[in-house]
């Protein structure tokens, strides 16, 4: 298994710098204003990490399996299925987890597909707010 997670910033002595951005290319961005309805987003073939910012209210995120036909994220007390809460006016960084062990074929694929990472995620806000997502990859 490859170490597909992007590097984090380090100081001149090699110590990790807390709350720093990934040292990786931005491969996609997504912005949703007043996103009270769930959205399912497909990652790029090169996405290995996300940074999610919640502005004006909390945001909810869940990883969506490839075969999931009811992919939305629910934050209501009954039927809630979110996996992460990003508090209001903060951000969180996520390394995309492995969904299934990939089987390498003859074709060229990006690291996301090649490592069998989740290819979709669902996000929504809690109330009238915005959620901003940056996708990072090698």
Measured CA to CA, the distance from residue 20 to residue 10 in angstroms comes to: 9
Predicted confidence (pLDDT) per residue in 26-39, tens digit: 999 999 988 778 88
**Is residue 7 assigned to a domain?**
no
User: What residues pair up with 23 in beta bridges, in sequence order?
Assistant: 7
pLDDT at 6: 81
pLDDT at 107: 65
Structural domain boundaries, residue 91: 27-137
* Confidence band of 45 (pLDDT split at 50, 70, 90): very high
**Is residue 122 assigned to a domain?**
yes
Residue 97 in contact with residue 5, Cβ under 8 Å? Answer: no
Give the mean pLDDT of the chain.
Answer: 87
3-state SS assignment for residue 112: helix
- CATH code where residue 35 lies: 2.60.120
User: What residues pair up with 100 in beta bridges, in sequence order?
Assistant: none
Residue 93 in contact with residue 47, Cβ under 8 Å? Answer: no
């Amino acid at each position: 298994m490859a170490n597909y997670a992007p590097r984090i910033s380090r100081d001149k002595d090699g110590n990790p710098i807390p709350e720093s951005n990934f040292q990786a290319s931005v491969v996609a961005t997504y912005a949703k204003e007043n996103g009270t309805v769930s959205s399912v987003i497909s990652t790029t073939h090169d996405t290995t990490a996300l940074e999610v910012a919640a502005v004006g209210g909390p945001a909810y995120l869940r990883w969506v399996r490839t075969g999931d036909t009811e992919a939305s994220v629910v934050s209501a007390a009954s039927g809630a299925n979110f996996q992460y809460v990003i508090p209001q006016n903060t951000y969180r960084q996520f390394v995309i987890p492995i969904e299934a062990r990939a089987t390498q074929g003859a074709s060229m694929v990006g690291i996301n597909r090649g490592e069998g990472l989740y290819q979709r995620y669902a996000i929504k806000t809690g109330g009238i707010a915005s959620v901003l997502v940056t996708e990072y990859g090698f």
